[in-house]
Amino acid sequence: MILALNLNPSLDKIYTADKLEYGGVVRAKTVNNTAGGKGIHVANVCKALGEDCIVSGFLGGRTGQFISDKLDEKQMKHDFVPIQNETRACINVATPDGNQTEVLEPGPAISEAEKESFLQKYEQLMQQADIIVASGSLPNNMPHNFYGILAEIAAKYGKKFLVDTSGQTLRETLPFKPFFIKPNKDEIEALSGRKISTVEEAAAEVEIFQQMGIALPIVSLGKNGSVIGYAGKIYHAIPPKYKAVNAVGSGDAFVAGIAIGLQRNWSIIDTIKLGSACGTANVLEAESGYVSKENVDRIFKLVEVTQIK
């Protein structure tokens, strides 16, 4: 089973509008309210591909109840810690020019008692899971090294800990040597201060992460695919390109595909192809962090993976 951690979930309000004018009035043409957050997106993709998954984190207030109800409607397994404060909401406005403007709330504060309740639940759920995926930002007052603490606990039980986060949280997680990380080009540049203009430069960053003890580091290059390091080798994956319906959640879908490939003990090449196929399939869906199995199966055959080192 895969345990997907979403410590800072959200109600995602996705609007489409003809234009977005600073200081003006935006009249939405459509609105779609979904249970959001990177970990929930991971669980969505696992569900779509028939992989056993449970999602956990913190939920509070009416917004938290909305998310819980949505997951129940989809028959998705979840076991969240209830909190006093209200779960956040996030807004995405998509315009015909292909741009998407997001407003992301910081999320609720978590009490010490709530944090301790989560740690207890985490150790219980971990007994059932082979792969743990921790995705997204942390709640407002959580320490930046909290994913690292969770990675350390996972290592104690011999579990693979995959983390998808950025900024200071990623920086303070790295010393704990998670099994997997997936920063994008911009996140790497902010982290290291080094520019990435080529696949070779991305490969150099992957090698640095490997030397730090991270088994499966990946650098996402957007339309130029991704560079992956594993077992002393480095690969470049290039998926087919499609016109995006909604690109939000593609990185989460990619992570889900990698987690599923690892859970199924697939070869590293097929695991990379599944991650790339899931990330690409997501852009064809109106719902964020969702794929259809048919699209994933079709795109999987079209992903090109080459060993570059």
> Which domains are delineated in the chain?
2-307 (3.40.1190.20)
Distance from C-alpha of 276 to C-alpha of 300, rounded to nearest angstrom: 8
What pLDDT, on the 0 to 100 scale, is given for residue 32? 87
Tell me: pLDDT of 246 over 90.
Answer: no
Alpha-carbon torsion, ordered 270, 273, 275, 277, to 10 deg: -140
Q: Give the count of beta carbons closer than 10 Å to the beta carbon of residue 212.
A: 12
What pLDDT, on the 0 to 100 scale, is given for residue 94? 87
Tell me: pLDDT of 298 over 90.
Answer: yes
34-38, 119-123, 179-183, range with the lowest pLDDT? 34-38
Q: Calculate the alpha carbon distances from 266 to 117, 257, 275, 303 in Å.
A: 35, 11, 12, 16
- 223 compared with 271, residue with greater pLDDT: 271
What phi and psi, each to the nearest 5 degrees, are found at residue 19? -160, 160
Distance from C-alpha of 86 to C-alpha of 58, rounded to nearest angstrom: 10
Distance from C-alpha of 142 to C-alpha of 136, rounded to nearest angstrom: 13
Tell me: pLDDT of 245 over 90.
Answer: no
Residue 78 near residue 100, CB atoms below 8 Å: no
What pLDDT, on the 0 to 100 scale, is given for residue 222? 83
Confidence of residue 166 (pLDDT cuts 50, 70, 90): very high
Tell me: pLDDT of 72 over 90.
Answer: yes
Per-residue HEC secondary structure of 189-241 comes to: HHHHCCCCCCHHHHHHHHHHHHHCCCCEEEEECHHHCEEEEECCEEEEEECCC
pLDDT averaged over the chain?
95
Mean pLDDT of 291-296: 98
Distance from C-alpha of 115 to C-alpha of 253, rounded to nearest angstrom: 27
Mean pLDDT of 180-195: 92
What pLDDT, on the 0 to 100 scale, is given for residue 219? 96
Mean pLDDT of 177-203: 94
pLDDT tens-place string over residues 247-258: 889 999 999 999
What pLDDT, on the 0 to 100 scale, is given for residue 14? 87
Tokens of 209: 């992460």
Task: Give the closest residue to 218 by CA, choosing from 179, 161, 248.
Answer: 179
Q: Give the count of beta carbons closer than 10 Å to the beta carbon of residue 262.
A: 22
pLDDT tens-place string over residues 192-214: 889 999 999 999 999 999 999 99
Mean pLDDT of 54-65: 98
Task: Give the closest residue to 229 by CA, choosing from 218, 213, 220, 245.
Answer: 218
Confidence of residue 223 (pLDDT cuts 50, 70, 90): confident
Distance from C-alpha of 137 to C-alpha of 8, rounded to nearest angstrom: 6
Distance from C-alpha of 183 to C-alpha of 246, rounded to nearest angstrom: 20
Identify the three-state secondary structure at position 4.
strand
Handedness of CA 277, 280, 284, 287 (dihedral sign): positive
What amino acid is encoded at 201 in this protein?
A: E
Confidence of residue 67 (pLDDT cuts 50, 70, 90): very high
Tell me: pLDDT of 98 over 90.
Answer: no
Distance from C-alpha of 25 to C-alpha of 43, rounded to nearest angstrom: 35
Furthest CA-CA distance within the chain: 54
The full length of the chain comes to 309
Mean pLDDT of 259-280: 98
What ranges in the chain are assigned the alpha helix state H? 38-48, 61-73, 112-126, 146-156, 167-173, 185-192, 199-211, 250-263, 268-282, 293-300
Handedness of CA 232, 297, 50, 32 (dihedral sign): positive
Task: Give the closest residue to 8 by CA, choosing from 87, 61, 118.
Answer: 87
